[in-house]
């Protein structure tokens, strides 16, 4: 085994060095350890919860706002020079002059807004309709220099744009939309707008929620969207908005009526921008015959380009978050001269931190590492193999190609201004005091603008880079698997640790199953060398499967301190009695200073070792695997082919009292299982206590009897994992990359034993569906949802269970020729 040097993002070849077991703790330099700032563990996104899709639109908007509480606040001038498509100042001045000459700007004010919107007696839609005419005038005067406009501004707040990939009923007040299009679709919208006549607390908050939602929906609806623009107006106050996968920006409010040059600049920038500048990815082209099918170009590090045509979407749930990787995966085929050929592949499109190694390079590095024995020969069986990969390149107006980057491209390489602040999207409540209504609009709005800005110096922006990788294998995620007999093969995880790497994002979404039933470990963009001390504050990990130590950001199993050091001295009742009856000292007398104790304390302080910074290690990956194994029997609903009960229909005369008792016992068991799911996946503190318990056998009893062997295995894994933690943390300064090797091997052998004994045969998990079964909400409480209509392909042997919800205990009593299906688990909230 050799330590591996990771390749650069450009794809340079990795090198290796002599084999040595490596500690994962940072080195001791002098009297302190090397500075390490651990990656911040992720938190669960409400937009990824099943409940999110059951909520009404207003609640969804609020949940999205709570997921994304802050934006970067910049001046409108900075925004126009940095984020908006390029416009020459001379063009802005020329158009403003023509608008003045045409009488559209009078005395520095838009003619069509003779009074502030707050004083208008018209409806909101009618009051702001002049913006359509202003946009037309700007387009006409701006086109004089030979430019053509791709988009036009429209305002139709009573019409709902059509969604293709996601259901949505929202109606933006206005939008810049493609001139040439088929109907009004979200896919064709470049900029959204929201208007309010007044600038009170409720109006401002409503605009923020709606703007955030529009930006969010534009990008989840259209895989081609790289970025989005927007603007909001409350009375005369206007703000510009910009979104990329890396950050969200909003400008300070300005008066759009009396500062027409700022509005003209933005309208010119949008209307005469290129398709790429408006946010669309031209390396993804929709077929005219079928717009749902795309041809996607992948550019390798050597500049070679390959084109792939989408067959179907494999995964896009990460697109249901405003900020993040926005990962989408398609099943694709190669395209040559417009025709498809070859086998089906998997194409992954993702936005990763620009300074992270690329997944394709990490896989190449792992493959070049020396593995013991025959493990090297089976490497390709447990990891995905790469067909091609590389950063996505975009072209600027000068024809220059460069990697698509949220800072280098979308901000044109600019740094944030030193005085940039954080804008709190969750507005503070208005002051509880009476005021003159005529003064509330302007005076209160200014105060609100001050209180909701949170100073933070400096603000750090984390650029993201657009990246694509094509795999030779088309797989499905473990969380979509329906058979418990399919094994989560942790051998891939062990191979990774032997090569000196940690994954740091193990979840049921990145353990894949290929066509041959092999489990493959994927999503390596957050993987890191064990000795890598680089600083990165971007969140990593998936909350449901996160190690408790990573979640708490500290070691919890360390036994370095003597557990008896703080015990009291041995009791001496006689001495205590003498002390009780002794004469109290004179009030004016000062006690002798505790010289001995003080010197002892000083000595202890001098001998105290420097604190050891927390680091992610291999055991944390293994614990994540344990939670992956646990979530299926505990937090999901399963059914079994209960062939032993084929004669149930002949037992109509069974004792009703006995049946009632069985039903009550089953309901109690289900309630206990729901409680266990709530404890393990919705309660951080109790989850930690569970892992530290000496014996948790009683907890697993709530699983269905057919899963008793699995429960026993999970308890053994839990105990061994805790023992491995305690053994590794006896010396925190020397936690080795081999510390998880034995535990990994034990888990692997245990699962193989379960498979070979066939104890999980004919036990199946119902497909994850946010509208079916019993769910545990974010508070750990059980809630009942509607039942899904499962297709025949959804269930074992192609049979359709008539009722598989925990809300209705009992067996499927359909066609006697079909297998009986008994619900034996619980559907939970998150995977």
Q: What is residue 376's predicted lDDT score, i.e. its pLDDT? A: 64
Could you give the CA distance from residue 181 to residue 161 in angstroms, rounded to a whole number?
A: 12
Q: What is residue 374's predicted lDDT score, i.e. its pLDDT? A: 62
Domain boundaries, the chain: 1-10+281-406+459-474, 68-279+421-454
Look at the alpha carbons of 51, 53, 59, 64 in this order and tell me if their dihedral is positive or negative: positive
- Closest of 667, 374, 353 to residue 528, by C-alpha: 353
Q: What is residue 42's predicted lDDT score, i.e. its pLDDT? A: 54
Length of the chain measured in residues? 831
Given a contact cutoff of 8 angstroms between Cβ atoms, the answer to whether 215 and 230 are in contact is yes
Domain 1-10+281-406+459-474: which topology? Phosphorylase Kinase; domain 1 (3.30.200)
Q: What is residue 329's predicted lDDT score, i.e. its pLDDT? A: 94
Kindly report the number of other CB atoms within 10 A of residue 605's CB atom: 8
- Closest of 608, 661, 242, 267 to residue 412, by C-alpha: 242
Report the b/e string of 441-456 with b at 16+ CB within 10 A. beebbeebbeebeeee
The separation between CA 557 and the C-alpha centre of its own chain, rounded to angstroms, equals: 29
How buried is 206 (Cβ within 10 angstroms: 0-12 exposed, 13-18 middle, 19+ buried)? middle
Task: Tell me the per-residue pLDDT of 169-209, one tens digit each, with 9 for 90 and over.
Answer: 789 999 999 999 888 898 999 999 999 999 998 999 999 99
> Which residues have C-beta within 8 Å of that of residue 405, sequence separation ≥ 6?
354, 463, 464, 465, 466
Could you give the CA distance from residue 345 to residue 360 in angstroms, rounded to a whole number?
A: 15
Q: What is residue 145's predicted lDDT score, i.e. its pLDDT? A: 64
Q: What is residue 70's predicted lDDT score, i.e. its pLDDT? A: 86
Low-confidence stretches of the chain (pLDDT beneath 70) = 1-54, 145-146, 370-377, 429-459, 487-492, 495, 498-499, 531-541, 559-567, 577, 583-610, 641-654, 766-831
pTM, 2 dp = 0.77
Beta bridge partners of residue 231, listed in sequence order:
193, 240
Could you give the CA distance from residue 91 to residue 242 in angstroms, rounded to a whole number?
A: 23
């Amino acid at each position: 085994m050799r330590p591996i040097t990771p390749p650069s993002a450009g794809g340079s070849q990795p090198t290796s060095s002599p084999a040595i077991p490596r500690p994962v703790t940072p080195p001791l330099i002098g009297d302190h350890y090397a500075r390490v700032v651990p990656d911040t563990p992720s938190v669960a996104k409400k937009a990824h919860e099943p409940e999110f899709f059951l909520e009404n639109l207003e609640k969804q908007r609020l949940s999205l706002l709570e997921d994304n509480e802050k934006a970067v606040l910049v001046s409108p001038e900075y925004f126009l020079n940095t984020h908006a498509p390029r416009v020459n100042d001379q063009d802005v001045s020329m158009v403003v002059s023509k608008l003045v000459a045409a009488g559209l700007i009078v005395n520095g004010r838009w003619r069509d807004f003779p009074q502030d919107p707050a004083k208008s007696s018209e409806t909101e839609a009618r009051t702001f309709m002049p913006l359509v005419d202003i946009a037309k005038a700007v387009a006409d005067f701006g086109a004089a220099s030979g430019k053509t406009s791709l988009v036009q501004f429209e305002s139709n707040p009573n019409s709902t744009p059509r969604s293709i990939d996601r259901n949505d009923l929202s109606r933006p007040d206005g939008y810049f939309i493609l001139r040439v299009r088929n109907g009004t679709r979200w896919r064709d919208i470049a900029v959204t707008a929201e208007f309010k006549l007044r600038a009170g607390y409720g109006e401002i908050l409503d605009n923020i929620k709606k703007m955030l939602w529009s930006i969010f929906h534009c990008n989840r609806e259209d895989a081609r969207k790289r970025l989005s623009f927007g603007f909001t107006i409350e009375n005369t106050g206007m703000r510009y908005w910009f979104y990329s996968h890396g950050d969200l920006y909003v400008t300070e409010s300005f008066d759009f009526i009396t500062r027409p040059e700022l509005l003209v600049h933005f309208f010119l920038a949008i209307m005469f921008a290129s398709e790429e500048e408006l946010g669309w990815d031209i390396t993804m082209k929709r077929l005219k015959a079928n717009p749902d099918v795309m041809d996607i170009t992948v550019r390798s590090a050597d500049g070679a380009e390959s084109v792939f045509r989408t067959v179907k979407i494999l995964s896009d749930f990460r697109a249901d978050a405003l900020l993040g990787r926005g990962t989408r995966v398609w099943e694709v085929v190669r395209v040559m001269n417009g025709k498809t050929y070859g086998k089906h592949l998997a194409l992954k499109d993702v936005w990763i931190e620009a300074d992270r190694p690329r997944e394709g390079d990490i896989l190449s590095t792992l493959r070049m590492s020396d593995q013991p024995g025959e493990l090297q020969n089976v490497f390709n069986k447990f990891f995905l193999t790469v067909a091609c990969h590389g950063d996505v390149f975009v072209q600027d107006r000068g024809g220059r190609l460069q990697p698509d980057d949220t800072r280098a491209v979308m901000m044109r390489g600019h740094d944030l201004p030193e005085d940039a602040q954080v804008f709190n999207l969750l507005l503070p409540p208005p002051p509880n005091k009476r005021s003159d209504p005529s003064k509330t609009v302007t005076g209160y709005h200014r105060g609100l603008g001050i209180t909701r800005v949170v100073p933070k110096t400096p603000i750090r922006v984390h650029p993201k880079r657009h990246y694509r990788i094509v795999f030779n294998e088309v797989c499905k995620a473990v969380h979509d698997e329906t058979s418990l007999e399919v094994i989560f093969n942790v051998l891939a995880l062990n191979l990774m640790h032997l090569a000196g790497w940690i994954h740091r994002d193990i979840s049921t979404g990145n353990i894949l199953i290929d066509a041959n039933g092999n489990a493959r470990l994927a999503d390596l963009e957050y993987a890191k060398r064990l000795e890598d001390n680089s600083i990165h504050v971007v969140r990593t990990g998936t909350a449901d499967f996160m190690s408790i130590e990573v979640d708490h950001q500290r070691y919890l199993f360390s036994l370095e301190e003597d557990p008896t050091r703080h015990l009291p001295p041995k009791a001496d009742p006689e001495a205590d009695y003498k002390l009780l009856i002794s004469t109290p000292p004179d009030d004016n007398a000062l006690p002798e200073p505790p010289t001995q104790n003080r010197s002892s304390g000083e000595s202890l302080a001098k001998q105290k070792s420097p604190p050891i910074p927390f680091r992610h290690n291999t055991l944390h990956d293994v614990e994540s695997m344990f939670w992956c194994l646990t979530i299926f029997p505990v937090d999901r609903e399963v059914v079994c082919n209960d062939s032993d009960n084929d004669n149930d229909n002949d037992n109509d005369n069974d004792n009703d009292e006995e049946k009632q008792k069985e039903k009550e016992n089953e309901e109690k068991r289900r309630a206990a299982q729901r409680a266990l799911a709530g404890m393990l996946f919705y309660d951080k503190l109790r989850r930690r206590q569970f892992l530290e318990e000496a014996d948790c056998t009683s907890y697993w009893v709530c699983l269905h009897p057919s899963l008793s062997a699995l429960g026993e295995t999970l308890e053994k894994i839990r105990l061994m994992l805790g023992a491995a933690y305690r053994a590794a943390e006896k010396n925190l300064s020397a936690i080795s990359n081999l510390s998880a090797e034995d535990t990994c091997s034990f888990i692997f052998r245990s699962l193989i034993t379960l498979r070979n004994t066939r104890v999980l045969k004919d036990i199946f998990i119902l497909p994850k569906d946010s509208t079916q079964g019993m769910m545990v909400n974010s508070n750990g409480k059980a809630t009942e949802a509607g039942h899904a209509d499962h297709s025949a392909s959804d269930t074992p042997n192609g049979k359709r269970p008539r009722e598989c919800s925990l809300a209705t205990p009992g067996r499927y009593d359909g066609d006697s020729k079909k297998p009986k299906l008994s619900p034996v688990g619980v559907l939970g909230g998150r995977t």
